[in-house]
């Protein structure tokens, strides 16, 4: 397989090669500053032209009806998603080696670049890397940056998935952020969206309607037709582009339950993972979000990872959330009857339910580092009507106990930006659309919550109001308050213990490592038989002191003087 991408503007020794799949068009032209250039039809709907167009050259594609459209595989845009694309270099003078860390060492910090700092830029994020490194974070996970309509948004409605959004800075500044993270021993994952395109600036339907599955809609837009080879190449090359051109340590694949490809063998996601594994000669971590609770993409071959590395475990989050808040509306209803039992099962086995549509499979045979557990993430906070964090919803002592359980269990922990100082600012849904689309988003957001009994839909913050975006910034000044310093100290203590004592135990763990012992409601007694010994948890989230099963070995952490106190968590190592 050639290293030359199928899609986009690629500089070569003989000029820049422009290539576009436009099966609905009988002719295509390339618009450059010096005029129109007819492109060559090369078969199967592809059009190609190699011509002089150095780095910085603006270009568009001209359709037979006269419309000019940006390159869907543009590496850089001049301005908005509706304007011209720009020939861009992918070279960078990398100064630092990638961290030599195994996946089992991962502690993930999810952040949205636009609200992570007051400035909301890659450059400003660089100044916060020492904070993350000192805290004990080993993985920075960045929410999607592929260009989307408007100047603010979560990133999941991108339409130019190769082009970093200019609202955050330049591609070179993003590379500099990744390079400096590596200098601090932090790996970097980027969230990518391969399940749909956003509503503003998607021109593919004008010349490549076969890109989409006419018979399927996702919750966010038209489904993608992954049976079409050019479509598969578009996304596989996108993954490889981010990994190679930005020196990323991996990707997080959004909502892969909507990446449906039943007719292909192999299915798209398997082909993507295999190509990355066989063409990138270094460790790459591929994590997934998938509400089906299936395991075929995450099976391990001994210590080897043939396909995907790890999966976000919604079961763990949902059960923990119900325990902490007693909320049972929406998807939390499935956890209302027995949140304690479901959380115990998630701790011991990974998945606790059959997932969406009852498609899930047993996961107890997988090692614990296949599962990414979290108390908060962008979805679980931001998809609330008012974006409240657990600091505003849960008992503070119980939340502290659950933080210890999250950070010291053998699964991969993930925290959301600001969790480390118990941030209280909301993270709201926001977008920068204009006109009719903006009005539709505002009205749709209100309709989404009109059936929830806990508040009036009229009080749902308007996603289009710039203040909704501004309110979602985390407040770094809280790191200097007495409560903020105490929370940071607790996080640092837990992550230091995890690094020094828990992480070395994880390699070599065999199947069915978790054992649940009998304990009262809202209490946990779990033993994990890991490759390096036995890790035991005893925890009480109730409001009464209880007797818990004894644990053997050295007690390495306790949140209270007496295990079994209310509330409390303690860990032992044997």
Read off the pLDDT of each residue in 171-175 and give the average, rounded to a whole number: 98
Instruction: Tell me the angle at which helices 229-245 and 268-279 cross, rounded to the nearest 10 degrees.
Output: 40
Domain membership of residue 514 as a residue range: 510-573
pTM over 0.85: yes
Alpha carbon distance 399, 148 (integer Å): 35
**Among the three residues 86, 121, 144, which one is the final residue of a domain in this structure?**
86
Domain final residue pick, 39, 65, 86: 86
Residue 411 lies in a domain: no
Residue with tokens 């090669």: 17
Active site residues: 254, 289
Q: What average pLDDT does this structure show over 228-257?
A: 98
pLDDT of residue 560: 86
Distance from C-alpha of 33 to C-alpha of 508, rounded to nearest angstrom: 59
Residue 536 within any structural domain of the chain: yes
Query: Is the pLDDT confidence value at 1 over 50?
Result: no
Is residue 538 situated within a structural domain? yes
Q: Residue 418 and residue 440: Cα distance in Å, rounded?
A: 31
CATH number of the domain bearing residue 42:
2.60.40.10
How sure is the predictor about 454, in pLDDT bands with cuts at 50, 70 and 90?
A: low
pLDDT band at residue 3, thresholds of 50, 70 and 90?
confident
CATH code (residue 514): 2.60.40.1180
Q: At 557, is the secondary structure helix, strand, or coil?
A: strand
Domain count, the chain: 2
The pLDDT of residue 562 = 78
CB atoms within 10 A of CB 316: 26
Of the spans 212-221, 237-246, 445-454, which averages the highest pLDDT?
237-246
Per DSSP, which regions of 151-246 are E strands? 158-164, 187-192, 212-218, 221-224
Contact call for residues 105 and 136 (beta carbons, < 8 A): no
Q: What is the structure's pLDDT at 403?
A: 98
Euclidean distance between CA atoms 397 and 378, whole angstroms = 23
Whole-number pLDDT of residue 18: 98
Residue 34 DSSP code: T
Instruction: Give the list of residues 6+ apart from residue 126 with CB closer than 8 angstroms, or none.
Output: 176, 177, 180
Q: What is the DSSP string of 178-201?
A: HHHHHHTT-EEEEEE--S---SSS
For residue 556, tell me if it sits in a domain.
Answer: yes
* Predicted pLDDT at 457: 58
Please tell me whether residue 253 adopts helix, strand or coil conformation.
strand
The larger pLDDT score, comparing residue 451 to residue 459, is at: 459
Average pLDDT of every residue of the chain: 96
Per-residue pLDDT at 459: 80
pLDDT band at 305; cut points 50, 70, 90: very high
In this prediction, residues 441-445 reach a mean pLDDT of 93
pLDDT at 270 over 60: yes
Q: Establish if 73 belongs to a structural domain.
A: yes
CB-based contacts of 481, cutoff 8 Å, min separation 6 = none
376 located within any domain: no
User: Residue 360's pLDDT is what?
Assistant: 93
- Is residue 528 in some structural domain? yes
List beta partners, residue 384: none
Stretch 359-382: mean pLDDT: 96
DSSP secondary structure string, 48-113? EEEE---TT-EEEEE-TTS-EE--TT-S-BSSSTTS-EE---------SPPP---GGG--EEEE-H
Judge whether 81 and 148 are in contact, CB under 8 Å. Answer: yes
- Give the pLDDT confidence score for residue 452 in this predicted structure: 66
**Helix, strand, or coil (residue 359):** coil
Give domain status of residue 63, yes or no: yes
Determine the Cα–Cα distance for residues 397 and 246; give it in Å rounded to an integer.
41
Asked whether residue 456 carries a pLDDT value surpassing 60, the answer given is no
pLDDT at 205 over 50: yes
Relative to beta strand 158-164, strand 146-148 is antiparallel
Distance CA 201, CA 147 (A): 10
Q: How confident is the model at residue 302 (pLDDT cuts 50, 70, 90)?
A: confident
Share of the chain above pLDDT 90, in %: 93
* Domain end (from 35, 67, 86): 86
Cis peptide bond upstream of 201, omega within 30: no
> What are 520-543's pLDDT values in tens digits?
999 999 999 999 999 999 999 999
Question: How far apart are the C-alpha atoms of 224 and 379, rounded to whole Å?
Answer: 22
């Amino acid at each position: 397989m050639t290293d030359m991408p199928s899609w986009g503007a690629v500089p070569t020794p003989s000029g820049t090669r422009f290539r576009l799949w436009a099966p609905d068009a009988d002719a295509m032209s390339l618009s450059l500053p010096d005029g129109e250039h007819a492109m060559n039809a090369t078969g199967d709907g592809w059009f190609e032209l190699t011509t002089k167009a150095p780095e910085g050259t603006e270009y568009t594609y001209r359709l037979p009806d006269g419309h000019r459209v940006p390159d869907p595989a543009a590496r850089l845009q001049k301005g908005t998603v509706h304007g011209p694309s720009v020939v861009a270099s992918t070279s960078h003078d990398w100064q630092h080696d990638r961290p030599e860390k195994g996946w089992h060492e991962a502690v993930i910090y999810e952040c949205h670049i636009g609200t992570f700092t007051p400035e909301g830029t890659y450059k400003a994020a660089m100044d916060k890397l020492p904070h993350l490194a000192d805290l004990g974070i080993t993985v920075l996970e960045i929410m999607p940056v592929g260009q989307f309509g408007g100047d603010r948004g979560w990133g999941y409605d991108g339409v130019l998935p190769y082009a970093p959004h200019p609202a955050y800075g330049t591609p070179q500044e993003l590379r500099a952020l990744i390079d400096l993270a590596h200098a601090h021993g932090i790996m970097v994952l980027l969230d990518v969206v391969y399940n749909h395109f956003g509503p503003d600036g998607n021109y593919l339907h004008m010349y490549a309607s076969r890109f989409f599955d006419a018979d399927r809609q996702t919750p966010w837009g038209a489904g993608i037709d992954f049976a079409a080879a050019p479509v598969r190449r578009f996304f596989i090359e996108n993954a490889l582009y981010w990994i190679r051109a930005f020196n990323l340590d991996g990707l997080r694949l959004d909502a892969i339950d909507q990446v449906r490809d039943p007719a292909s063998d192999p299915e798209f996601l398997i082909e993507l993972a295999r190509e990355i594994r066989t063409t990138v000669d270094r460790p790459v971590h591929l994590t997934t979000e998938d509400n089906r609770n299936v395991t075929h993409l995450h099976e391990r071959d001994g210590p080897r990872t043939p396909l995907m590395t790890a999966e976000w475990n919604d079961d763990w989050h949902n059960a923990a959330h119900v325990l902490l808040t007693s909320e049972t509306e929406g998807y939390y209803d499935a956890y209302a009857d027995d949140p304690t039992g479901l959380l115990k099962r998630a701790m011991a086995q990974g998945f606790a339910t059959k997932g969406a549509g009852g498609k899930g499979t047993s996961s107890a045979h997988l090692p614990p580092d296949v599962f990414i557990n979290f108390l908060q993430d962008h979805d679980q906070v931001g998809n609330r009507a008012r974006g409240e964090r657990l600091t505003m919803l849960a008992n503070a002592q119980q939340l502290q106990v659950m933080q210890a359980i999250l950070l010291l269990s053998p699964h991969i922990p993930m925290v959301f930006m600001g969790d480390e100082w118990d941030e209280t600012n909301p993270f709201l849904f926001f977008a920068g659309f204009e006109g009719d689309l903006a009005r539709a988003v505002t009205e749709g957001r209100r309709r989404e919550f009109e059936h929830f009994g806990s508040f009036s839909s009229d009080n749902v913050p308007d996603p289009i109001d710039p203040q909704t975006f501004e309110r979602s910034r985390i407040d770094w000044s809280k790191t200097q308050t007495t409560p903020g310093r105490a929370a940071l100290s607790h996080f640092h203590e837990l992550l230091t213990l995890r690094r020094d004592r828990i992480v070395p135990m994880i390699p070599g763990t065999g199947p069915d490592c978790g054992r649940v012992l009998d304990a009262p409601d809202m209490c946990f007694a779990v033993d994990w038989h890991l490759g390096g010994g036995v890790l035991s948890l005893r925890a009480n989230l109730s409001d009464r002191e209880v007797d818990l099963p004894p644990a053997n070995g050295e007690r390495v952490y306790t949140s209270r003087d007496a295990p079994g106190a209310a509330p409390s968590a303690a860990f032992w190592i044997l």
